[in-house]
Structure 1
Amino acid sequence: MTDYTARGVADGTAARASSAVSWSAVLGGAVVSASISLMLLAAGAGLGFTSVSPWSSAGVTATTFGIAALAWLAIVHLLAAGAGGYLAGRLRTKRVGLHTDEVAFRDTAHGFMTWAVSAIVTALLLASTASAIIGGTARLGASAASGVASSVSGMAGQAAGRVDLTNLDPSAYLTDSLFRTDRPAPSSTDAAPARAEVGRIVAMSIRNGDMAPADKTYVASVIAAQTGISQPDAEKRINDAIAKTKEVAAKAEQTARETADIARKGAASFALATFIAMLIGALASSYGATVGGRARDKVEA
């Protein structure tokens, strides 16, 4: 009895000391899964770039491209996770004397752990790669934009008599439109102080959303004196200019809201698609491990 008891205690201690997880199989499957994921993502990026064209009459639409990208993401998770889980289940060491259900559970658990490790590794690799790509693309885009801007500025300068547009006041065009006349004043007349004052009033009115009645009357009198038009016509110019400014501001705000809403919906769709793709990957890896385990048992039998 003493010998059997001691042997049972020793066997139980050894069973508890040895882990049921084959980390070598898990890590091996995770590395394979991450490698396949990166390979398929690179292939999908290449196919996507070839299908997208900057010309409006060529390439696929943005909606089609988005749906195809999300479907490809699910396929990537399915194939990569399934392959990694199968290898983890096939390479896992089988324990002798375990029930069939326990063997199936351990194979499934190894597949799930393979998917988890692979997801972390892939996320780290994609984060570092995306950071490098975004940084390089930003630098390249800045250089290209700088070159294009220099070329356009050079051509515009030649066409406009070397006019410096770098310090252009946004309200200057509106101020110029208020002082237009069919009878230009002689070149000796200095209208710069009046134009500067009206420009400041216009800029303040744009920021406040409307021009005060006193400011409108004063600006109309200045415009009438400078251009030779009547006071009512000058006030009509002011009202038309302010209305046009409000219309442009409203359109800009509406465009910004629509762009933000599209970005919000796109981010939500991508997050949901990523969750579904990862869930597919987890199931594929777990099932692949059980298939690999059954294949291992047949060979060992």
Structure 2
Amino acid sequence: MEGSMENASPAVRSDIAPRFLQWSPIVLGAFAATALSFVLLTFGATIGLGVTSTAPTWRDASAALAILSGIYLILQAIVSFGLGGYVAGRVRTATAAASVEDTERADGVHGLGVWSLAVILGVLLAALVSVATISRTPSMRSSAQASTAEPLLSYELDRLFRAGRRAPNVDLSAERAEAGRILLTTSSHSGLSADDRTYLIQQVGALTGLSAPDAERRVDSVVASAKTAITRSRRSSIILAFSVATAILLGAVATWAAACAGGRHRDGAPLPEWMSRSDAIGRRKTVMP
């Protein structure tokens, strides 16, 4: 009888091993991180809409605004992921027999679980919003001849084919799509070819009734404007992509550290030395006049 009880005790200890993954704290922390991130991003988008222009030349936004937006994106990610990691570490059930190192490692792993699930939820949410936006945009639901350059160079295409008189019910979708593809080549290393430039001048003259010199000046002006718009859009896209990648990577660090801090608060243990030092510095700055 005693031998059977001794053989059963190791099995009980293995069932409560510190490597056991608890999904409830992970899911709760991921939901908390996603919810806070959505709120902070909504505030950021509201501020952005208030300071940016609603004109078609919105691409003229400065690089400083793009950089500030990227910094805000990184900071909100650190705060949101930090909250999710802290929640997971705080509510996780720790193992009494585990050492301090094993407990802290398990809390950090749960923080990484929060980070992974929150990233997946954010991607799914962004995909749903993008699909809903595309399905509600008439230009995106148009025929197969819709230009890939239309969302970016729609204003330039309007300027290119602007005419004082035009017969009613004239469909220029095919011409706009072709001109948009040609304008996209202005950002290539070789630039707009002479043949494409001549073809655009002929198309503009035929569809708008402008004389050859006027059509040539309009094409040159639109080509320069399109090249500038593509360059600025590419710059903003690079800054945004770099900011998103940096925010996600720093979010992993934030969730690990916050989960460890939440676990120490759960167990009543003191914070690590680097956390205690930064917290003391922050309190000292708050007390100083």
| Equivalent position amino acid for 1:275 in 2 | A
Distance, in Å, in 2 between the alignment partners of 1:47 and 1:163 is 41
Query: Which of 244, 261, 267 is equivalent to 1:291?
Result: 261
Question: What SS does structure 1 have at the residue aligned with 2:268?
Answer: helix
**1:164 pairs with 2:134:** no
Aligned to 1:52: 52
Are the aligned partners of 1:30 and 1:117 in contact in 2 as well (CA < 8 Å)?
A: yes
| Equivalent position amino acid for 1:24 in 2 | S
Query: Which of 269, 272, 282 is equivalent to 2:242?
Result: 272
Aligned to 2:132: 132
Distance, in Å, in 1 between the alignment partners of 2:167 and 2:263 is 74
Distance, in Å, in 2 between the alignment partners of 1:208 and 1:276 is 42
The alpha-carbon deviation at position 101 of structure 1 amounts to: 0.8
TM-score scaled by length of structure 1: 0.59
| Equivalent position amino acid for 1:43 in 2 | F
Aligned to 1:119: 119
Aligned to 1:39: 39
Aligned to 1:257: 227
Cα deviations across residues 126-149 of structure 1 (Å, max 9, x unaligned)?
22123324544x34999xxxxxxx
Cα deviations across residues 91-111 of structure 1 (Å, max 9, x unaligned)?
000101111111111111111
Aligned to 1:6: 7
Counting only pairs closer than 5 Å after superposition, residues 81-230 of structure 1 correspond to structure 2 as 81-136=81-136, 138-139=137-138, 164=167, 206-207=198-199
Moved more, 120-129 or 241-250: 241-250
Distance, in Å, in 2 between the alignment partners of 1:168 and 1:2 is 90
Structure 1 gaps of 5+ residues are 143-156, 170-204, 211-240
The alpha-carbon deviation at position 79 of structure 1 amounts to: 1.2
Q: What is the aligned length?
A: 213
Cα deviations across residues 239-289 of structure 1 (Å, max 9, x unaligned)?
xx7566555444443433333232222222211110111112111111110
Are the aligned partners of 1:206 and 1:242 in contact in 2 as well (CA < 8 Å)?
A: no
The alpha-carbon deviation at position 11 of structure 1 amounts to: 3.8
The alpha-carbon deviation at position 112 of structure 1 amounts to: 1.2
Are the aligned partners of 2:115 and 2:252 in contact in 1 as well (CA < 8 Å)?
A: yes
Change (3 A) 1:15 1:87: closer
Q: CA RMSD in A?
A: 3.9
Counting only pairs closer than 5 Å after superposition, residues 231-246 of structure 1 correspond to structure 2 as 245-246=215-216
Distance, in Å, in 1 between the alignment partners of 2:201 and 2:35 is 57
Question: What SS does structure 2 have at the residue aligned with 1:279?
Answer: helix
Larger Rg: 1
Distance, in Å, in 2 between the alignment partners of 1:72 and 1:104 is 30
Quote the sequence identity (%).
Answer: 23
Are the aligned partners of 1:206 and 1:245 in contact in 2 as well (CA < 8 Å)?
A: no
Question: What SS does structure 2 have at the residue aligned with 1:277?
Answer: helix
| Equivalent position amino acid for 1:132 in 2 | A
Are the aligned partners of 2:89 and 2:107 in contact in 1 as well (CA < 8 Å)?
A: yes
Distance, in Å, in 2 between the alignment partners of 1:277 and 1:284 is 10
| Equivalent position amino acid for 1:35 in 2 | A
TM-score scaled by length of structure 2: 0.61
Structure 2 gaps of 5+ residues are 142-162, 173-196, 203-210, 270-289
Distance, in Å, in 2 between the alignment partners of 1:129 and 1:168 is 31
Distance, in Å, in 2 between the alignment partners of 1:65 and 1:14 is 53
Change (3 A) 1:206 1:77: closer
Distance, in Å, in 1 between the alignment partners of 2:70 and 2:234 is 16
Are the aligned partners of 1:88 and 1:292 in contact in 2 as well (CA < 8 Å)?
A: yes
Change (3 A) 1:62 1:279: same
The alpha-carbon deviation at position 124 of structure 1 amounts to: 0.9
Are the aligned partners of 1:111 and 1:285 in contact in 2 as well (CA < 8 Å)?
A: yes
